[in-house]
Amino acid sequence: MQLVSIILENFRGYHLKHEVLIDKDFTGIIGKNDVGKSTILEALDIFFENSNFEKNDKCIFANEDEFPSITCVFNNYPKFLILDNTSQTSLENEYLLNIDSLLEIKKTFRINQKITTDISIIANYPSNPDLNNLITLKNNELKTLVKSRNLDISLVEDQRSNTSLRKFLFSSEPLYFQTKEILLNKEDAKNVWDNLKSFMPLFALFKSDRNSSDQDNEVQDPMKLAIKNALSEIQPQLKEIQEHIKLKVEDVAKRTLDKLAEMDPTLAKDLIPDFSKDPKWDSIFSMSLASEQGIPVNKRGSGVRRLILLNFFRAEAEKKFKEANGRSIIYAIEEPETSQHPSYQEMLIKALLDLAILPKTQILVTTHTPALAGLMPISSLRYIIKNENNQHKIEHAKNNKILKDISDDLGIHPFGSINDSHCHGYIFVEGVSDVVFLKHIFSQFANNGLIQRDYISNNEIQLLISGGSDNLKHWVNYQLIESLKKPWAVFFDSDNDGKNCDKYLKNIEIQKKYPDIIFHLTKKRECENYIHPNVILRKTNNNVVFSPNDFDDQKIALHAKLIDYIAIKKTNLIEKLWDSTSFEEIIEICTDSEGNNEFLDFINRIEDSFNLNQSSRKTA
């Protein structure tokens, strides 16, 4: 199941109704401190029953009859449900979807002596008299309704099945519909919730302000989620165990009551076996982490603990690549920048973005740090502010005004200083590696007469790091370029794995959005795929023979081969290796079978677009 939105009503600072749309992959919730970002994540934690609703969670501005509620809307819900022992049905056939054909589940909290929770579905349900509450009726009540309407009950496919009886009644006349809230924790409707619970996403919330204890929650929660994942894989066996124990216990209880009835029938009649609480299997297991010296993780620095969290996500990402089945998972991370060096902040966001594109995985992140917000996709941004009356306003980034408000509010500004004196235009790149890559190509091509001069060294072309094509920082820089009235171009990795992966297709779609711009996607997967085998031989004293592949992940392959010879990270292969690539090797590695050199073609187009040839003639 995939979370589409969360609706808060009278919950903490959110008075009345507020909806936050959730992206199918990654959602960035941004805003200043104390604006209500964490409230959204903690509301989800309560909804998914990882924490409890408390009395002070009710909005202080809500009236006595305005109940707090948390509603989650889902897509990719299960196609089929088994509500009776053998009868298969669906949410569509039971009319339990909302007007948008989505599954909308609402939890309302009523505060009296104790807190009670009403679980309901918001559905576009039949409004016909007698047919407007069928999901709540028991088998005998449904049969009685069939007979009271003078319908032939023998036509029902299976009279023991409530599903069959409801289907028969719904087909008995034309239906009319209206939005209705249907309670799921009463009568037969409880079967719907019991069935749906096994399909609900797993939810994990990681907060920046967890208290340290003997088993630090900041580290323990990933381990707990691993336990939950393992338990979900053997859910059928656990249900069998639970049912076996229940039957045995009920048998003992029945025999005990039978004997008690011989001595005190009144007391025996007053007692009934109660097996209402399901066992909490995940509380049975525990796991902790400690160093070889026996130092517990919670005694280490907060930065170390956060790095463990980062690598939990990396481990989960690799695991997900191998097995994309089972229940979906929602990771919610509050202010991941806490206690981290800026370089680790960027690594964390990139790791989360990589994790988010995997099947059945959604990431929610809150931040008020400009650097992190600048790395998030524009479409993912949810901007929260409070107006002059202290009421929440949630903006979904969809136009220039909102994006400008976000950038101004968080302090994300265009490049502080751009040398404009001789600049003819700009090339957007994704990161530092791309700057190193293009600078060396321009230099080698100029030194060997393929282009007139090194336009980058001369500041006639400036390289601007955008951090990616579809993020806030790129939008801000785009506005700056437009205001300067200079031509600009784009140079990005294609991310093509040779199998039309999601990243590659997304880059192609982004490229199509700029038909009038020189927007170059590398023909190979990324810059690392252009490293010549001779460079590897030189760096390893002829010990490593390397055969490059256009679409493999060269970061992984090269790093594995080089790690024994030079100190190098996967992320800085280009910075370490590319400058030692000769002109002849560059020509060989980026020229196709028909003699076309993709980077020379790119530069030639830049020369024409930026009027660099004309400038040269004037100078001469």
- Helical pair 235-263 and 217-233, crossing angle rounded to 10 deg: 80
Residues 6+ apart with CB under 8 A from 444: 581, 582, 583, 586
Contact 507, 521 (CB under 8 A): yes
- In this prediction, residue 194 has a pLDDT band, given cuts at 50, 70 and 90, of confident
pLDDT of residue 210: 44
Tokens of 58: 């009710």
Tokens of 128: 């016909």
Tokens of 36: 């209500």
Virtual CA dihedral for 412, 353, 368, 490, nearest 10 degrees? 0
What is the enclosing helix (H) or strand (E) of 4? Answer: strand 2-11
Min mean pLDDT across 46-55, 199-208, 585-594 is at 199-208
CA 193, 199, 202: angle at the middle one, nearest 5?
Answer: 110
- The residue-averaged pLDDT of 346-350 equals 73
Residue ranges per domain, the chain?
218-287, 425-619
- The residue-averaged pLDDT of 159-186 equals 92
pLDDT of residue 77: 92
Q: Which residue would you say has higher pLDDT here, 141 or 253? A: 141
For the stretch 119-170, pLDDT in tens is: 999 999 999 999 999 998 988 999 999 999 999 999 998 898 899 999 999 9
Amino acid at position 14, single letter:
Y
CB hemisphere CA count around 236 (13 angstroms): 1
For the stretch 67-100, pLDDT in tens is: 999 999 999 999 888 877 667 899 999 999 999 9
- In this prediction, residue 213 has a pLDDT band, given cuts at 50, 70 and 90, of very low
- In this prediction, residue 420 has a pLDDT band, given cuts at 50, 70 and 90, of low
**Mode of pairing for the β-strands spanning 329-334 and 202-206:** parallel
- The residue-averaged pLDDT of 14-37 equals 90
Threshold 0.75, pTM exceeds: no
pLDDT of residue 322: 54
pLDDT of residue 619: 31
pLDDT of residue 560: 84
On the question of pLDDT at 398 being above 80, the answer is: no
Distance in angstroms between the alpha carbons of the first and the last residue of the chain: 66
- In this prediction, residue 331 has a pLDDT band, given cuts at 50, 70 and 90, of confident
